[in-house]
Amino acid sequence: MNPMKNLLLITMSLFLAWGCNAQTKTEIEDMTEYKVQKTDEQWRKELTPEQYRVLREKGTERPGTGEYNLHFEDGIYKCAACDTPLFESESKFDAHCGWPSFDKAISENSVVEKKDYSFGMVRTEILCGTCGGHLGHVFDDGPTETGMRYCINSASLGFKKEGESEK
């Protein structure tokens, strides 16, 4: 057999094996228990179609279209699904990427990191630590001292302005 054909077959086998392994890891990670548990029917009733697509189906909004991309008021960014505080406005910055970006979460337990093997890439997905809703991804290319860039979908967020009372 020709060496190029051998190399191609080996590469394809490794790619397929990696893909199967990634699926198994994703299935295992999706079994995490969260404090807020609801059926798909309940989530569909409570969320807008776009919020459901992003938060529950791991969708991504188009860059530059989200309500909070260039939003810089003082306050707290919360999970749109369960109201958990996620990010403080002081940690927000304009990363020029088209999505709201933060350099740190509000607390250690507010977000959960999971490996994401979708689209042939290895990334770190960010989920709400309370309901498991998909928020976005985190990268280690941030410009602040934390070095982190939490790239979050606006559809995953709500906002409580500083000094605003709870509703």
| Per-residue model confidence as pLDDT tens digits over 68-119 | 999 999 999 999 999 999 999 999 999 999 999 999 999 999 999 999 998 8
What percent of the chain clears pLDDT 90, i.e. is strictly above it? 74
d(CA 65, CA 127): 21
In angstroms, what is the C-alpha Rg of the chain? Answer: 18
User: How many Cβ atoms from other residues are within 10 Å of residue 29's Cβ?
Assistant: 16
Mean pLDDT, the chain, integer: 85
In this structure, which topology does domain 32-161 adopt according to CATH? 2.170.150
**Residues within the annotated binding site?**
79, 82, 128, 131
4: confidence class by pLDDT, cuts 50, 70, 90: low
Q: Is the pLDDT of residue 12 over 70?
A: no
Question: According to the model, what pLDDT value does residue 26 have?
Answer: 37
In whole angstroms, what is the distance from residue 142 CA to residue 149 CA?
Answer: 5
Active-site annotation, residues: 151
Question: What's the pLDDT score for residue 30?
Answer: 52
Contact predicate 162/62, CB 8 Å: no
Which sequence spans correspond to the domains of the chain?
Answer: 32-161
- For residue 127, list its beta bridge partners: 112, 134
Its pTM surpasses 0.85: no
* 115 phi, psi to nearest 5 deg: -70, 135
Q: Which residues fall in the annotated binding site for Zn(2+)?
A: 79, 82, 128, 131
Confidence of residue 33 (pLDDT cuts 50, 70, 90): confident
From residue 93, alpha-carbon distances to 7, 97, 142 in Å are 45, 11, 9
Integer Cα distance of 162 and 165 in angstroms = 9
